[in-house]
Amino acid sequence: MDEEIRGEQYTEESATNHTASEAGQTETPFRPLTRVERRNLWLKEYGDQDFALQMWARLVELQDLEIEMMLQMNGLLVFGIMVSTQRYAQFYIDLNEELHREREPETADALREYYLALVPPQDQPEIGPEGLPVVFRYIHMNDVTIMSAGHKIKVPYWRGKICEVDAFVVGATAGE
């Protein structure tokens, strides 16, 4: 009995499984992105960025500044002090050393490596390998208060995606 499936005729022949060698022949082999493809992806990502917020993130990272800031993100207000990735990472490295070094040294080592990998190199150029400016993807803050619908949550450190920030105010505090 033949049935229509997604506009194609279903037959016994189309229902048979292909062998592994036949399936391998139809797969597209991996190829790295071309320079033009990388540039187009970067242009899309960079075009969605708030250039002023990118500037503040760059200053904080390169000069290790601390800047009071309020971010508005999807209806949340996030108040805190913007800090470098190095300061954010060091807080969690120290915390995990306390929690895991004695009983689980492998866990402490793995977490140390993870957080150190987040930190951009000191000699990171402003222009990346594609010949385009480097885009910062995350904001790190400490002494954070998150407000939503009248509720307040305080956390010591916070990490958020820059592309998710709807608005920001430099110098704003949560107030008490």
More confident residue, 136 or 73: 73
| Confidence (pLDDT) at 144 | 96
What is the four-CA torsion angle of 54, 127, 85, 149, rounded to 10 degrees? Answer: 20
* Contact (CB, 8 A) for 100 and 108: yes
**For 41, what's the count of Cα atoms within 13 Å in the CB-facing half-sphere?**
8
Map tokens 């480097």 to a residue. Answer: 134
Share of the chain above pLDDT 70, in %: 78
Average pLDDT for residues 117-126, to the nearest whole number?
A: 76
Q: Tokens 């916070």 — which residue?
A: 158
Look-up: residue for tokens 């190829």? 31
| Mean pLDDT, the chain, whole residue set | 81
For 129-174, what is each residue's pLDDT tens digit? 666 677 788 999 999 999 998 899 999 999 999 989 999 999 988 8
Whether the Cβ atoms of residue 91 and residue 157 lie closer than 8 Å to each other: yes
Looking at residue 102, its pLDDT comes to: 87
Q: 0.75 cut: is pTM over it?
A: no
Would you call 176 helix, strand, or coil by DSSP?
Answer: coil
